[in-house]
Each structure stands twice: as C-alpha cells, then as structure tokens.
Amino acid sequence: MAEKNSKYLSYMREERLPHIFCPGCSNGSVMSAFLEAMEKAEMDFDNIAMVSGIGCSSRIPGYIKCDSLHTTHGRALTFATGLKIANKGLDVVVFSGDGDAASIGGNHLIHAARRNLDLTVICINNNIYGMTGGQVSPTSPKGIVATTAPYGNYDTPFNLAEVVAAAGASYSARWTITEMENLVLSIKAALKTPGFSFVEVVSLCPTYFGRKNKLRTPTAMAAVMRANTVFKSAADRMSEKELKDKIVVGEFANKHRDELSDVLEKFSVENSGDKTVVNSAYETEF
Amino acid sequence: MAEEFFIQGNEACAKGAIAAGCRFFAGYPITPSTEIAETLAKDLPKVGGSFVQMEDEIASMGAIIGASWGGTKAMTATSGPGLSLMQENIGYAFMTETPLVIVDVQRGSPSTAQPTMGAQGDMMQARWGSHGDYEPIALSPSSVEEFFYFTIKAFNLAEEYRVPVFLMTDETMGHMREKMHIDESKINIVPRKRPELTDDYLPYKYVEDGTTPMPAFGDGFNIHVTGLTHDERGYPDTNDPDAHDRLVQRLCNKVLNNRDKISSVFSQFCDDADTIIISYGSPTRAVIEAVLKIRKEGKKVGYIKIDTPWPFPEKQILELTEGAKHVIVVEMNLGQMYYEVDRLLKLQTRVHFMGKIGGLLPTPDEIISGIKRAEGE
C-alpha cells in the first residue's frame, strides 16, 4: 500500500499533507486517476495550471505541485476562461464538485461548454454538499435524505454529463469511482481533446451521504453504485422505467468543434499581424 | 507626439486602457458603459489582445482575475447593477492581491432605476461593497481627457500596489463628447514586477512596503492562490487568529501607508476662501463654473476637486480647508462622500451638503444659490 501511495507523491505539495479529506472519500482516488491520466497522456506537469471553486473537491489543486487558483464558489470556470485566453499555451484543468459546478456555477458551466474553450474539467459528483455538512445538491437522487431534505429529496437531479454535451462541449463523459480504468482513459481523452472537456465522476461521500442513507461503509456504498451502473450503449436501449436509479456511464460527447482560444488568436493575427500577446503586464512599452 | 481627438468619454477610457497596456477585457453589456466593451471588442485584437463577452458580471470579474494571473493587464466595465454582482469576486481580488481595473459608469439607482441618466450613487459600493476589511483605490475623472489619463493611472496604481482599482465615473462623462489631447510624453507605464525564483521564495512574504512582486501562471513558481486566509507560502491557514490579522492588516496598510502618495486633489482659490466647495467627477464642471462666476461678485469661494475618492484624501482636504468657514459637498446622490468630509472636518468647519439626484448635473446657478444659502445659515 505504502508503495502505491508514493507513486505520485513527486507531483504533490508534500508539505501540505495530510489532506483534509474524510476516510472513504473518493477525492484521493480521483486525484490519483488524474495524475495517472496526466502521465498516460504524456502531459508536461510544468505546464499545468489548475483552477477550482469551493467545496471538498476544489481543495485538490492545492495539493498538486502546479500553479493553482482556488477561487470563489461556482466561479472557477470564469477564472479559468480568463487565464486560458490570456495564456493559451497553458494546459488549464478545473476541479469542481456538483454543488460548485451544477448549482451556483450552473450558468458558467453551460456557457463554458458553449464557448468550447480548451479546458479540462473534472467534476467530482458526490451528490451532496460535503464541506458544509450534507445538504441536498442539484445532483442528489430523488428521495435521498440530506440535512436540508429531512423528509427526502423532492427535486429531480441534473444529468450533468448530458447537460454539458447538449451545451456544446467537445468532450463529455461520466464514470463512477468504481470504474478506475475507464476513468483514467477518459481523463486522458479529455486532456487530449482540444475544446471544452468534461468528466463527471460519480463518487462517494460516506460521511455525509452514506451515514444519512443507511450506507454505513464506503464499500457498501461502492457496491450499490456498482450494481446500479449501466453503460451508455446498453442504457440507450433501455426504457425510462428500467433506467430508474441507474447511473449511466460512458461518453456523451466526443466531437471536433472550433476551439475559442484558437478563434481569438485568429482574430489577433488577422487584425494585428501577430499572435495574441502573452505576459504583456511585465512590459513597459505599448 | 501630441494628438487631438473629438471623442466620447467611454471611447477615451478604452483608448486609455490600450495605451496603459491592457490586453484583456471581459464584460457584460450594460448601459451606460457598453461603448467601452464595444470599442475594446474592436481594438484589442488589433494590438494582440483579447475581448470576451461573458455570461454575466460575476463571470466578467472572474475572467479578468484569471487573465491577470495569466500575466496580462485586464479590465472590465459596468454600471451599478453589474458592480453589485461583481462584489464577491472583487473581495477575492483584494485578498489575492490581483491587479485589475474596474470601470463603473454610474447611473440612476438603486436597482435598475435610470439606465441612461448620470449619478454618483455607487461611491460607497466601491468603498464597502464586498464583505470584510479592505482598502480600495478609486479615481473619478471630470473631463474626457482625464478619463483617458485616469484610466492609465488606474492600471499603474493597480500594478504598483497589486489591488483592484475602480474608475468611478458616470453616464454624463461616459457619453459626453469633447476635445481631448493625447501627449505621449505624458504617458508613463508601470510594469508588473516579476519576482526572482529562489529556493526560499515566498509569494506572500511580509515586506516593508506591503506589496510583493507577482509571478504569472506558467512562470515556474508553482504558486497557490486562494481567497482563504493564507500564510506567506500562499497556503490556507484559516484557524490562526494571528495569521488572519497579519494578512488583512498588511493588505489594508499597503494602501493606507501610501495614502498621501496615492490620493490626489486639484484645487483653486482655497487660500483666502471663506467657502470651499468639494466635488468629484462630472459635477466638478458646474462647480468650477459657479466658483468663477461668484468670485466676480467679490465672494471668496474656492473649490477642491477630488481625483481619488478612495483612499479618501484626508491630509490634502484638511490642509486646504483650514481657514474656511463653510465647506459644501456637491455630489449626485443623497449624501455619500459628504459623510466622509463631515467626519473629517466637523470639528473645525461647517460642512453643508448639496446633493442632486434624478440624472441631471447640478447647474452653476443652483450651486451659487447653494453657496449663498450656506453662507446665510
């Protein structure tokens, strides 16, 4: 175990450990899936900039050795948009959660997908507000119990991967934390896709989701998750009734579309005869 | 080289931004600021810069903060309702010491009120709009030419102190057209200072003057930027009372300790004046007219035009009003900067308020009546 843990330690800000995540939390697994995908995609770790909002998952960039921008709740994509346009050479990765990306940041999510700026977004969807202590989120399944849904959640959850695909993203996929190999390959594909790339990871929050919903251990939660997982190819042939309580995994979008920073650079070349300027704040003459 | 233009205030602001080195603008359409966005949408690509129209003002603020950390001078422009939406991220910019410029072309308020009419109702929103303790810098131009030069100054102050800087103007100034001279020899650019990457590098080091150099993302510093209370490494340290006190005091003091250097006023006829009028932005034009007129009647009236409402120019105003019996604050609201002046001067001078809302500038004759009324009291 110790060896396995140390595999990616060189990519991390060791001085910041131990992390704040609870026992059984999926965030560590998603972080290692991301680091593995970075290696598999042969990405340059020195060229990564990470942006996040507020929530447990948004703490991940703070543990990774990179330039990291830990921003306001829901707004990570707006900061990432400015950062990527100002310096399109950077590989910008956004970590987010369901409350952050789908609730307070929902508008930014669909607009970022529409613009198709080259960002890689990993949304760790634990179906609950973890950091504030277990309130219902826009992806909480109907009927679950949360501190702000003591009689059961009466709202219909967002299908995030589908929303992002419908909004125009080049790449959108969903996996659960029990599908590590697919998750790694999907994050790799997202990193390599020019354009807005979104990977939703349905994950476990034993502390605030499990305890309230009679799923007392992470393994019990994972077992239920695995039993309810259906591949998209199979789900496409299933009825709405059959799909009740199922988690559909797979790719929801994987297509080529014009990417925003390329388009803006084209405007710049056509109008100024040169590429977009980078790091101009340090210059004295204009 | 000097150039002359007949130009609108908002266009002058956009030109000033480009001259200052602004190469990124993110904004959302709102009257009466939209011409700034429209001009920059056209002009930024011509100088290798980028314009992006965001989904709202919250996103606009986020985008310019991101662009600033990308190593680019960045700006947004809005009006009161948009400034309200930006406030959370404005606080983030203060906490993370992100240089940027926010233009507020003020309109009748509160709420949507009067989109096409001028006002100065956001002065306290610029001062206190976000949560917590912070010290903003704000400039108020009173001519189209000043709008150009103050925009450059705003970028320079933003870089020098690593703070967001507000340009607090209004519809009158934004939409007014007048002659403007650009003298390139008068344009001075303050570049961002890049730190040196050493083994013991600390991005938020406690330095004497309060402002540490700022690296760009991609420079190899592996910097962590957070709105949480952070230590000198930039890492969250949210439960140590001393860490928070040290950080927030430094952020405030880097502006307060340089208050006299940052703040500026322009004044005339204050030496012998019995009555001094204090104003800022558009109404100053009517104030000057009124003062020149009433002095012809032999009345000893002077004026102070505040160029930097924030930080409030206490020292300059105290000195200039020393011998005055009456001070009248003229502004287009129901009393905002008036309370600052009253707080400062009430022990030595009678401070009167002359406010006007509705969208029109006070006229010189209204101001003259106000002077006579005050002196008669």
Of B67, B193, B226, the CB nearest to A82: B67
Which of A95, A277, A284, A285 would you mutate first to test chain B, the one with the most B CBs within 10 A? A277
The minimal CB distance from B73 to the residues A83, A276, A281 is found for A281
- Cβ contact (<8 Å) for B67 and A268? no
Q: Taking each helix axis from N to C terminus, what angle separates B364-376 and B283-296, rounded to the nearest 10 degrees?
A: 60
Test A87 with B228 for CB contact under 8 angstroms: no
Q: Do B50 and A89 touch (CB under 8 A)?
A: no
Within 8 A of A264 by CB-CB distance, chain B residues are 45, 50, 52
Least CB–CB distance from A284: residue in B26, B48, B189: B189
Q: For residue A236, what is the DSSP state?
A: T
Question: Measured between beta carbons, which residues in chain A are less than 8 angstroms from residue B238?
Answer: none
CB count within 10 Å of CB B41 equals 17
Local structure of B5: helix, strand or coil: strand
Q: B72 and A277: CB-CB below 8 Å?
A: yes
B264 to chain A nearest CA, in Å? 24
**Side-chain-side CA neighbours of residue A89 (13 Å):** 13
Tens of pLDDT, residues A215-253: 989 999 999 999 999 999 999 999 999 999 999 999 999
Q: Which residues of chain B are within 8 Å of residue A101 when distances are taken between CB atoms? A: none
- Find chain A residues with C-beta within 8 A of B223's C-beta: 67-68
**Distance (Å) of CA B366 to CA A39, A187, A222, B286, B376:** 72, 68, 75, 9, 15
Distance from CA of B369 to the nearest CA of A (A): 48
- Predicted confidence pLDDT, tens digits, chain B (377 residues): 689 999 999 999 999 999 999 999 999 999 999 999 999 999 999 999 999 999 999 999 999 999 999 999 999 999 999 999 999 999 999 999 999 999 999 999 999 999 999 999 999 999 999 999 999 999 999 999 999 999 999 999 999 999 999 999 999 999 999 999 999 999 999 999 999 999 899 999 988 888 999 999 999 999 999 999 999 999 999 999 999 999 999 999 999 999 999 999 999 999 999 999 999 999 999 999 999 999 999 999 999 999 999 999 999 999 999 999 999 999 999 999 999 999 999 999 999 999 999 999 999 999 999 999 999 97
ipTM of this predicted structure: 0.97
Q: Which helix (H) or strand (E) element contains residue B97?
A: none
